[in-house]
Each structure stands twice: as C-alpha cells, then as structure tokens.
Amino acid sequence: MSDDMLRAPAEVKFADELDWLESIDDGPKPFSWRLSPRMVRLFILGSERSDGLEREIPQKWFGDRSFVERSIVTLASDRGLLLIGDPGTGKSWLAELLAAAICRNSTLVVQGTAGTTEDHIKYSWNVSMVIAKGQSRESMIPSPIMTAMERGVIGRFEELTRSTSDVQDALISILSEKYVSIPELDDDNIVFAQPGFSIIATANSRDRGVNDLSSALKRRFNFVRIPVVTSKKSEAEIVRFRTEELLRRHRIELDLPPSLLDILLQSFADLRSAAASATSDDDKLESALSTAEQIGVLEDAILHSHFFGDRVLRAQTLAGSLVGSLARRSPEDLAILNKYWHGVVEPRSKRDGGLWPDFLEGGREAISTLS
C-alpha cells in the first residue's frame, strides 16, 4: 500500500511493525491508545537486545530518550504537547511517529501560516449544502482538530507560532474545555472531545517574535525542547537512516562511501562554527545548516549521480550539491562559501588528501558557475 503513495505516513510505512507490537503488547494503555507507553517508546527509539523481542524494531528518531519519554507522558496526561526547536531537529517527524504509535493516524494535521483561520481548527460549512438544506451537522465540515476530538485521537498543529493570535486564542478553549460549540445550530451543537484526544504542536524557535504564544496558551502545553544534534555519531545515523529510506523509495542501488559522509558532516560542522562566530547576519549563511538540510544535500547528490552521472556518488557531485543548496543569496552566501573553500577546504585537502581534493575541485567549479 505504501508503494502507491509518494510519501506514506508513518502508520502506513510501519504498519507491519505496529501490528506486531500491538499483538504482543500486554502493558497498561491510557485512554484508547493502541500501544502502551513502553511500546510507543520502543517503536520510536528501536529495540535493544535486553528487550527480549523475537524481532528487531529499528530506531526511527534519533535523540535523547528523555525527550521521547516526556512527550509520551504528556500525552498520557491529556495535556497538549509542544515540540519546540530549531529547523531540522526532527520535531515534525517525532510528532508523526507519536501519533502513529498512539492512535494509528498521524494525518489529522493543521499547518500554521499567516493565512490559517479559526475555521481551520474548528469547522467550516459546505456552502452548496447550506443553500440547499440549511445549516446542519451534515453540511458542516469539521477541521482535522475537531475530527481528532470526535474520534478521541491525536491532532497535530504544525508551526503554531506562524498562526495569528486569534487562531491561537481559539485553541485555548479547545485545550482547556475540551469541546467546541457550534452556535449556528439549535440542536446537537456541541462537539465533546473523546478520551484519548490531545494535540501535538510544533514551533520553530527561530520564529520567536513572529506570533509569540500568550501565557494562557503556554500554560496549556507541556514544552519539550528539541536541541540541535551536536554529536557527529548521532547526526551520521540520522543522515544514513534517511538516505537509505530515499534509496529504497527510488529503488536506487548506490553505495554511500563512509568517507564522503564524513566530509559532508565535517563541512556542516565547519560552517556552523563559522556562523556561530560571525558578527553580523551578512557573514552568516541564510541556511539554518540543519541535519534536514544535510539530508537534502545528500539526496540531491545521489539523484544527480543516478540520473546524470555514472551511478557512483563522487566528491565533486557532493560539493556541487552542497554549494547549490546553501547559496541562496547572491553575492552574500557565495562569498561565505568561497571564503570557506579557500580558507578551510583547500588547506585540508593538502593536509588530509583522500577525497578532499575532489571535493575542493567540485566546490570551486560550482561557486564559479554561480558567481
């Protein structure tokens, strides 16, 4: 079934795992949860030998165990969960995995934008049905959040701080009162949340000041701050996991040389260090230099090698993808990358050799082409 979708949701992609875990799960389950909290954690973080399971459950989210446990406990208490952190730290992926494991539905999602309205989190109307038959529950279009309330499952709100204050205020009553009133109807005009309903929201810490959360809304969420991955080992695992997933989806047989992955990780570490020491925004790349962007650079290089190269991932191709992905402003970003290539990559290629000289050449060519 997942082969029929461009991107299958987690509950479809890992349906076999979830079915098996549900069949062996004898732990206590809050509300209408499909898995116990222990099994939810195991599904997300993967199994260990000490778990004594008959089959291995691979790790799907790479981060501190305590973040996952606190998230699960929050949802078990029926409080809202707010995952907050820098771009590319895996907030949305963790939210999807939590919803998939708890209720086998991660698709009840509202995307927060400047254009998000109160209707998107409550309900709207089918205009043609209202004209024909008048306002009724039949002619009402429930939002994903209202649908989650009625079913007693998890609703998701992406980029909460991107939505305006009136939308955030509407969310306060849902989180506190656990019902939505429908004043347009005389009968059957209240939708009550069923046991198991909760909301997982995400917020980008770089959006602070765009639409700050009110203190009233903050009180109704438990905050879990997801830090930027600083461990090279953890970051390598994340990139490798996502890359293998990409190769399977595209049915591409292509080796990822460990030395090339090391170059990618080291380059991003160098550029992050340079951004941290920069004295002005003009001296920083516009890119957040997140793990997600590393994956995007690698995906671009792999697909380019597969379709236009000799189906071998080379350092020159990786360098070109990195420059092409990170050079968003001209000439500012190109100047920063050029400085990095001359000041860091060139000395390292002379000192360390290996694939660095090819990486140096590929980057120079890409910078020259874009300049």
Give the pLDDT confidence of 343-356 residue by residue, as tens digits: 999 999 999 999 99
Provide the pLDDT for residue 211.
Answer: 62
C-alpha of 264 from chain center: 21
- 2 contacts 13 by C-beta, under 8 angstroms: yes
Q: Show Cβ contacts of residue 313 under 8 Å, excluding neighbours closer than 6 positions.
A: 254, 255, 256, 257, 260, 301, 302, 305
Provide the pLDDT for residue 232.
Answer: 78
Q: Which of 233, 152, 130, 232 is nearest to 197 (CA)?
A: 152
Structure tokens at 81: 């969960």
Structure tokens at 173: 């009553």
pLDDT tier for residue 233 given thresholds of 50, 70 and 90: confident
pLDDT tier for residue 2 given thresholds of 50, 70 and 90: low
Peptide bond into 257 cis (omega under 30): no
Per-residue pLDDT tens digits for 75-95: 999 789 999 988 878 899 999
pLDDT tier for residue 130 given thresholds of 50, 70 and 90: very high
More confident residue, 294 or 101: 101
Q: What is the mean pLDDT of the chain?
A: 89
Residue 315: pLDDT over 80: yes
Q: Which of 161, 166, 164 is nearest to 205 (CA)?
A: 161
Residue 29's alpha-carbon distances to 33, 37, 96, 153, in angstroms, are 6, 7, 19, 13
pLDDT tier for residue 213 given thresholds of 50, 70 and 90: confident
Residue 208: pLDDT over 60: no
Sign of CA dihedral 91, 92, 93, 97: positive
- 159 contacts 210 by C-beta, under 8 angstroms: no
| Gap between the Cα atoms of 146 and 170, Å rounded | 12
Provide the pLDDT for residue 138.
Answer: 92
Instruction: Tell me the residue type at 268.
Output: F
More confident residue, 253 or 24: 24
Burial of 58 by CB count in 10 Å (0-12 exposed, 13-18 middle, 19+ buried)?
exposed
Q: For residues 159-180, give the mean pLDDT.
A: 89
- 44 contacts 56 by C-beta, under 8 angstroms: no
Provide the pLDDT for residue 209.
Answer: 46
Per-residue pLDDT tens digits for 247-290: 877 788 777 788 999 999 999 999 998 988 888 877 888 888 88
Provide the pLDDT for residue 207.
Answer: 60
| Gap between the Cα atoms of 43 and 45, Å rounded | 6
Structure tokens at 148: 């989650």
Q: HEC profile for the chain?
A: CHHHCCCCCHHHHCHHHHHHHHHHCCCCCCCCCCCCHHHHHHHHHCCCHHHCCCCCCCCCCCCCHHHHHHHHHHHHCCCEEEEEECCCCCHHHHHHHHHHHHHCCCCCEEECCCCCCHHHCCEEECHHHHHHHCCCCCCEEECHHHHHHHHCCEEEEECHHHCCHHHHHHHHHHHHHCEEECCCCCCCCEEECCCCCEEEEEEEHHHCCCCCCCHHHHHCEEEEEECCCCCHHHHHHHHHHHHHHHHHHHCCCCCCCHHHHHHHHHHHHHHHHHHHHCCCHHHCCCCCCCHHHHHHHHHHHHHHHHHHCCCCCCHHHHHHHHHHHHCCCCCHHHHHHHHHHHHHHHHHHHHHCCCHHHHHHHHHHHHHHHC
Residue 210: pLDDT over 60: no
Q: For residues 215-224, give the mean pLDDT.
A: 90
Q: Which of 96-100, 108-112, 214-218, 231-235 has the lowest mean pLDDT?
A: 231-235
C-alpha of 128 from chain center: 37
